[in-house]
């Protein structure tokens, strides 16, 4: 019998790693809610993220994202999909509340750009002449912090179902009393 209690799951990783798709899938399997940081930021700002960046800049976006993340990390029975840059700030993954399991959904820059290109204009940090170069640089900067997540799951050539199943296997082992739908 596990003495620890799982209250929330936090998915971190680079854009295009599958945080939203996998987060929804894992939440469905548990009968929990899924909450996406970016969706919450857009709702509070009343604007899509590219417009927030354009009109207010990245520092404004990051401050809003941090405030929302602080609120969401107090929720229970949730799977949280963080913004790719939120987790990159030092201490973010080591200062999460007790009862939080953290997963880094790892992806290559090439795969991230390929997935992001399916939604042109939705990723302001990849705007510019060479999105792959920009993604490679950002991921190299962020990977050391992403690695501080308790678990790493490779999403490179895996389906949402495969990644969700891997997370379920880990959590079932760690929390034998956890109920799945």
Using one digit for the tens of pLDDT, what is the confidence trace for 92-139? 898 899 999 999 999 999 998 887 765 555 555 556 668 888 889 989
CB atoms within 10 A of CB 127: 12
Contact 32, 78 (CB under 8 A): yes
Is the pLDDT assigned to residue 170 strictly greater than 80?
Answer: yes
Q: Report the chain's mean pLDDT, rounded to a whole number.
A: 90
Q: What is the pLDDT of residues 78-99, one digit of tens each?
A: 999 998 889 988 888 988 999 9
Is the per-residue pLDDT at 1 higher than 70? no
Domain range annotation of the chain:
8-174
Q: What span, in angstroms and rounded, lies between the C-alpha atoms of 86 and 123?
A: 15
Say what the pLDDT of residue 57 is: 92
CB 73 within 8 A of CB 35: no
Q: What's the confidence (pLDDT) of residue 26?
A: 98
Tell me which fold the domain 8-174 belongs to. Answer: Rossmann fold (3.40.50)
CA distance 86 to 37: 9
């Amino acid at each position: 019998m596990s003495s620890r209690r799982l209250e929330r799951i936090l998915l971190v990783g680079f854009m295009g790693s599958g945080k939203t798709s996998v987060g929804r899938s894992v939440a469905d399997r548990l009968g929990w809610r899924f909450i996406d940081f970016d969706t919450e930021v857009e709702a509070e700002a009343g604007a899509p993220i590219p417009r927030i960046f354009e009109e207010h800049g990245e520092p404004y976006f990051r401050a809003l994202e941090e405030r929302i993340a602080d609120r969401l990390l107090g929720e229970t029975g949730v799977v949280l999909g963080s913004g790719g840059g939120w987790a990159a700030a030092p201490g973010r993954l080591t200062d999460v509340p007790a009862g939080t399991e953290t997963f880094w959904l790892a992806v290559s820059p090439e795969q991230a750009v390929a997935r992001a290109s399916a939604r042109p204009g939705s990723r302001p940090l990849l705007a510019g002449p060479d999105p792959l170069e920009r993604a490679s640089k950002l991921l190299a900067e962020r990977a050391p912090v992403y690695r501080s997540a308790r678990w790493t799951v490779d999403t490179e050539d895996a389906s949402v179902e495969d990644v969700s199943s891997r997370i379920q296997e880990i959590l079932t082992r760690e929390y034998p009393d956890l109920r799945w739908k």
